[in-house]
Amino acid sequence: MQKFANPTRFLRLQSAIQPWVVAATIVLFAAGLYSGLVMAPPDYQQGETVRIMFVHVPAAWLALMIYSIMALSSAVAIVFRHPLADLAAKTAAPIGAAFTFLALATGSLWGKPMWGAWWVWDAGLTSMFVLFLLYLGYIAVWQAIEDPARGALIARIVALVGFINIPIIKFSVDWWNSLHQPASVFRIDGPAIHSSILIPLLIMATAYTMLFLALHLSAMRAEINARKLRQMELAHVGSS
Amino acid sequence: MKILAALIRRDLTLAWRQGGGVGTAAGFFLTVVVLLPLGIGPDQVLLQRIAPGALWIALLLSVLLSADSIYQTDFEDGSLELMTMGPAPLEMVVLAKAFAHWLAAGLPLAILAPMLGFLLNLAPELVLPLTVAMVIGSVSLSLLASLGAAVIVGLRRGGVLVSLLILPLYVPVLIFGVSASRGALAGPDIFAPSLLILLAISLVALVSVPVASAAAIRAYLK
Amino acid sequence: MELTGRNLACERGGRQVFAALNFTVAAGHALILRGPNGAGKTSLLRMIAGLIEPAEGEFVLQGGHQDLEPGQQAHLVAHQEALKPALTVEENLQFWAGFLGGGDIERALEALNLTALAGFSAGLLSAGQKRRLALARLALVPRAIWLLDEPSVGLDAASQVKLQALVHTHLEKGGIVVAATHTELGIRDAATLDFSELAA
């Protein structure tokens, strides 16, 4: 772990694997979109609109995964004081927020033909909405605190407190939903799902993960360069 | 214990003398309650339907706003620094301050809110369950609000940030609070579990908030 | 009792303030910190108080309570006076006495000539009187190490004499004083640590 602590080492590694990650992203998206939008059968109830699922469901998975990565990075930052950990959490947040927004937007699009309304307070969408707010709060903390070292300390706390609360929020929203309306349309029931749908879904999920990886690695590179620039400016101000 | 009692007594005295306690927060609570019928119309049936939820939302907003500066003056005048040099761990200090806030604002608001329910045509048989639920829920409302205050203590304009950070965390309290208040009409199989979950949430907050608040304050004192 | 700082370095906002700083203060002695603004005098006091971590180096306290940090056996009187304007002079001291584990309020009031002001709210005090109230904490609760940051700012001649007497009594009892100052405090047998020689 400590081996990659050095930003130079990370930058070298990033340059080496970035082209492969980008290539994998393109191939997987081509395969996932073709199998999902062309090969998979239309739903007997929802018809062609069910294909939104192949864009919506993996985005929702990624939204949760990226917040978990942020929380994990924050925990690593606290325990091991790894210099890249805070940076990894910080740069993951806007990407996670974008995936959450994608899940919300596609969910809203899916809702129009399903329920005839652009937005319905379904349990899944509501939880996703609160998750989006948690992302916005985390990003706002980094923006509000000028000193990056202090910002990192506060952001860790915000990420971990949010992470502890996600299951509690999910549970409460499900409870709330069950009081007002039964079962969600978006529910994907694991094994019962047919492989003609599951396989494209998994390919899309891998494609999204690769896309996240590609974006995250370049965002981290950009952030490291921005810090170097700041250091140089500080040194310049200090010497004159 | 004596140490924390000194702190709680001081914070209560300050809240009483400077109006940082329940007074302003109750005024804010009333304002929200008045705005509501103005926004949706004076329909008694509709108001009765939304009364528990509306009172809860007014409660959590007023608790949050009343807490946003509980660390501010202690941070600015150097008292917090000296407190870290005292014999009590900072985690206990922030817990004592959160408790003082609950006594000065959270608890009085939780008792006052159901009494003002008549303004929204709240069903009289809901007043008691609503009070019980609000008293239990206000513990976590005060604790989470104090966490928000700790996270922004060194920032010049943190008020909006606190709302963005803490209101999403209020979602479970709101849901189970309203569910407990409504549940009394629906039957004991919803009322009792909702209250227990509310209690559990308050206990989780009681354990985790002091650790997080103390960490945030240390980051600002560095 | 003896407080030693070994090879201390201080970093603020990514910039080095001082490095390779060593000092020793024994019981009954005072250390005066001198140097230009921004040289790190206040930072060193806050480091001993445990408020900021040294970038390098460590403090060793021989004697005293071994299970307490140096900061928890120290008083810090700094620019921020930690007073509540809405409380009276006496109530301010009452709180700190309670919070720091018990103290003698009468003695503290007398030591800085505040007895006549005891019942007035701290918000009414002048700058010099506020400073005296902040200094009264020193006499309120016995603590071995006194960290003073420009303690005499705003004090009139009579109060400066009071402060001198307070410091001398503390030293005679075997206490330690570390003070940053631009003016003469008139402390006997004080060693001086000059920060202008340390400037990196």
Domain ranges of chain C: 2-197
At residue A5, the pLDDT reads: 55
pLDDT tens-place string over residues B41-95: 999 999 999 999 999 999 999 999 988 889 999 999 999 999 999 889 999 999 9
Number of CB atoms found within 10 A of residue A94's CB: 15
pLDDT tens-place string over residues B5-52: 999 999 999 988 887 667 888 999 999 999 999 999 999 999 999 999
Residues on chain C touching A83 (C-beta within 8 angstroms):
none
At residue B11, the pLDDT reads: 93
Asked whether residue A224 is assigned to any structural domain, the reply reads yes
pLDDT exceeds 60 at position A182: no
How large a percentage of chain A has pLDDT more than 90? 57
Mean pLDDT, rounded, for C147-157:
89
Those chains having 3 or more beta-carbon pairs within 8 angstroms of chain A are B, C
Residue located via tokens 């960290």: C147
Mean pLDDT, chain A, whole residue set: 87
Residue located via tokens 């070994």: C6
Asked whether residue A10 is assigned to any structural domain, the reply reads no
Residue in chain A closest to B217 (alpha carbons) equals A154
DSSP one-letter code for B41? -
Q: CB distance A157–B151 less than 8 Å?
A: yes
Q: Looking at the complex, report in whole angstroms how far the Cα of residue A152 sits from the nearest Cα belonging to chain B.
A: 9
Segment among A90-94, A193-197, B155-159 with least mean pLDDT? A193-197
Q: Looking at the complex, report in whole angstroms how far the Cα of residue A235 sits from the nearest Cα belonging to chain C.
A: 8
pLDDT exceeds 70 at position A181: no
Q: CB distance C99–B18 less than 8 Å?
A: no
Q: How many helices (H) and strands (E) does chain B have?
A: 11, 0
Residues on chain B touching A180 (C-beta within 8 angstroms):
none
pLDDT exceeds 70 at position A189: no
Residues on chain A touching C14 (C-beta within 8 angstroms):
149, 231, 234
Q: Could you tell me the end-to-end alpha-carbon distance of chain B, in angstroms, rounded to an integer?
A: 27
Asked whether residue A188 is assigned to any structural domain, the reply reads no
Number of cross-chain residue pairs from A and B with Cβ atoms under 8 Å apart = 76
Considering its fold, how many domains does chain A have in total? Answer: 1
Complete DSSP assignment for A29-92: HHHHHHIIIIISPPBTTTBGGGGGHHHHHHHHHHHHHHHHHHHHHHHHHHHH--HHHHHHHHHH
At residue B54, the pLDDT reads: 95
Number of CB atoms found within 10 A of residue C40's CB: 25
Q: Looking at the complex, report in whole angstroms how far the Cα of residue B32 sits from the nearest Cα belonging to chain A.
A: 23
Residue B105 and residue B22 in contact, taking contact as beta carbons nearer than 8 Å: yes
Which residue among C53, C83, C98 places its CB closest to the CB of B6?
Answer: C98
At residue A37, the pLDDT reads: 86
At residue A30, the pLDDT reads: 93
**Could you report the predicted ipTM of this complex, rounded to two decimals?**
0.91
Band of the pLDDT at C69, cuts 50, 70, 90? confident
Is the overall model pTM greater than 0.80, yes or no?
yes
DSSP one-letter code for C64? S
Chain C positions contacting chain A at CB under 8 Å are: 13-15
pLDDT tens-place string over residues A72-115: 999 999 999 888 999 999 999 999 999 999 999 999 998 888 88
Q: Looking at the complex, report in whole angstroms how far the Cα of residue B170 sits from the nearest Cα belonging to chain A.
A: 9
Band of the pLDDT at A39, cuts 50, 70, 90? confident
Max CA separation in chain A (angstroms): 73
pLDDT exceeds 80 at position C177: yes
Q: CB distance B87–C82 less than 8 Å?
A: no
At residue A239, the pLDDT reads: 66
Mean pLDDT, rounded, for B122-130:
91
Query: Sheet of C176-180: strands edge to edge?
Result: C74-77, C145-149, C176-180, C30-34, C190-194
Q: Which range, A56-70, B178-192, C9-23, has the best average confidence (pLDDT)?
A: A56-70
Residue B146 and residue B94 in contact, taking contact as beta carbons nearer than 8 Å: yes
Residues within 8 A of C (CB atoms), B 176-195 only: none
Residue A107 and residue A128 in contact, taking contact as beta carbons nearer than 8 Å: yes
Mean pLDDT, chain C, whole residue set: 88
B42 shares contact with chain C (CB less than 8 Å): no
At residue A238, the pLDDT reads: 65
Which residue among A140, A161, A176 places its CB closest to the CB of B161?
Answer: A140
At residue C199, the pLDDT reads: 53
Asked whether residue A8 is assigned to any structural domain, the reply reads no
pLDDT exceeds 50 at position A191: no
Interface test mutation site (partner A, options B160, B171, B194, B196, max chain A beta carbons within 10 A)? B171
At residue A2, the pLDDT reads: 45
Alpha-carbon gap, residue C49 to B81, rounded angstroms: 9
Q: CB distance C15–A234 less than 8 Å?
A: yes
Asked whether residue A189 is assigned to any structural domain, the reply reads no
Those chains having 3 or more beta-carbon pairs within 8 angstroms of chain B are A, C
At residue C167, the pLDDT reads: 92
Q: Looking at the complex, report in whole angstroms how far the Cα of residue C116 sits from the nearest Cα belonging to chain A.
A: 44
Q: Report the CATH number of the C2-197 domain.
A: 3.40.50.300
Band of the pLDDT at A192, cuts 50, 70, 90? low
Mean pLDDT, rounded, for C121-140:
93
Q: Looking at the complex, report in whole angstroms how far the Cα of residue B119 sits from the nearest Cα belonging to chain C.
A: 36
Those chains having 3 or more beta-carbon pairs within 8 angstroms of chain C are A, B
Mean pLDDT, chain B, whole residue set: 91
pLDDT tens-place string over residues B162-172: 999 999 999 99
At C135 the three-state DSSP class reads helix
DSSP one-letter code for C15? E
**CATH number of the domain bearing residue A170:** 1.20.120
Residue in chain C closest to B222 (alpha carbons) equals C52
Q: CB distance A175–B179 less than 8 Å?
A: yes
pLDDT exceeds 50 at position C7: yes
Residues on chain B touching A176 (C-beta within 8 angstroms):
175, 179
Mean pLDDT, rounded, for B193-214:
95
Segment among A36-45, A186-195, B129-138 with least mean pLDDT? A186-195
Q: Which helix (H) or strand (E) holds C82?
A: none
For residue A27, the enclosing domain spans 19-180+198-235
Interface test mutation site (partner B, options C75, C99, C105, max chain B beta carbons within 10 A)? C99
